[in-house]
């Protein structure tokens, strides 16, 4: 059976060459997120050869960057499930289900991302992992609840619509995924710190980043209601 599966992978272009290398990198990353970081992940909709999303929606707002089958509620840290998913769908993007015990996220247009990180550095504010997607940058933060977020936003005169919040019921793509818009990478990779008997990814609180991100978002073009990556 092992030889048959190996031959099938080679025929499908999954076992050799650059395609095979990329598939191994994606699967390895998905397993790291699930096993080491304890982040719930699931495979996203794949991008077709014509650049369209593999889901059934002709007007998909996030082609290749959202859950499809299975749905978001299937996200898991179970290593066996994650390994099986990417063995079956090696080109699928990795989707993080945000909120709960998993990281939440704040995202802003990619054009504003580098300047926001530079301003945070000047202010001495430590960021956590930062995902650089073609059209948006995503800053992962400690889990927050909706009431907490509401209080943070209520005290501000203006919050740009180009700044997005990904909490419970939300999701973001993780590197090294590839969406219809292009490759997803790290602007800043995860760093771990010891917490009791294990190591966990260091994440800032949303409140620590929000002032700078609001200012950066005000200078970025409003992308309307489309959450493109």
**Tens digits of residue pLDDT in 21-37:** 989 999 999 999 999 99
Token pair of 213, please?
């991100």
Q: What Rg value do the Cα atoms of the chain yield, rounded?
A: 18
Work out the average pLDDT over 7-30: 69
Is residue 224 situated within a structural domain?
Answer: no
Burial 208-217 (b: 16+ CB within 10 A, else e): bbbebbbebb
Q: 101 or 221: whose pLDDT is higher?
A: 101
Work out the average pLDDT over 126-153: 92
Rounded Cα gap, residues 29 and 83, in angstroms: 11
Work out the average pLDDT over 128-132: 97
Distance, C-alpha 53 to centroid of its chain: 17
Helix axes 146-154, 206-218, angle to 10 degrees: 50
Count of the separate structural domains present in the chain: 1
Q: How confident is the model at residue 144 (pLDDT cuts 50, 70, 90)?
A: very high
Is residue 229 situated within a structural domain?
Answer: no
Is residue 179 situated within a structural domain?
Answer: yes
Supply the range of the domain harboring residue 22. Answer: 2-218
Q: How confident is the model at residue 170 (pLDDT cuts 50, 70, 90)?
A: very high
Q: Answer yes or no: are the C-beta atoms of 85 and 42 closer than 8 Å.
A: yes
* Beta pairing partners, 108: 137
Count the Cβ atoms, other than its own, within 10 Å of residue 34. Answer: 23
Work out the average pLDDT over 168-180: 95
In 3-62, DSSP assigns E strands to 41-43
Is residue 112 situated within a structural domain?
Answer: yes
Model confidence at 4: pLDDT above 90: no
Is residue 35 situated within a structural domain?
Answer: yes
**Full DSSP string of 143-189:** ---HHHHHHHHHTSS---TTSEEE-TT-EEEETT-EETTEE-EEEE-
Token pair of 115, please?
């300047």
Is residue 76 situated within a structural domain?
Answer: yes
Is residue 225 situated within a structural domain?
Answer: no
Rounded Cα gap, residues 175 and 154, in angstroms: 33
Q: Answer yes or no: are the C-beta atoms of 41 and 93 closer than 8 Å.
A: no
Residue 196: what pLDDT?
A: 64
Is residue 34 situated within a structural domain?
Answer: yes
Locate tokens 């994440």: which residue?
A: 203
């Amino acid at each position: 059976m092992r030889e048959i599966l190996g031959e099938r992978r080679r025929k499908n272009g999954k076992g050799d060459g650059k395609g095979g290398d990329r598939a191994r990198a994606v699967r390895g990353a998905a397993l790291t997120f699930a096993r080491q970081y304890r982040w719930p992940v699931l495979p996203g909709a794949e991008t077709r050869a014509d650049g369209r999303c593999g889901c059934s929606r002709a007007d998909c707002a996030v082609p290749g960057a959202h859950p499809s089958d299975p749905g978001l509620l299937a996200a898991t840290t179970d290593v066996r499930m994650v390994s099986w998913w990417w063995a079956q769908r090696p080109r699928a993007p990795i989707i993080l289900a945000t909120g709960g015990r998993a990281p939440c996220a704040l995202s802003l247009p990619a054009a504003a991302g580098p300047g926001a990180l530079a301003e945070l550095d000047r202010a001495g504010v430590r960021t956590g992992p930062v995902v650089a997607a073609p059209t948006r940058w995503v800053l992962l933060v400690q889990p927050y609840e909706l009431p907490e977020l509401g209080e943070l936003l209520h005290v501000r005169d203006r919050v740009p619509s180009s700044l997005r919040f990904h909490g419970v019921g939300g999701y973001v793509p993780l590197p090294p995924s590839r969406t219809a818009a292009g490759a997803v990478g790290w602007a800043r990779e995860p760093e771990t710190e010891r917490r009791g008997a294990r190591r966990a990814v260091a994440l800032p609180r949303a409140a620590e980043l929000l002032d700078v991100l609001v200012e950066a978002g005000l200078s970025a073009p409003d992308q309307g209601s489309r959450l493109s990556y």
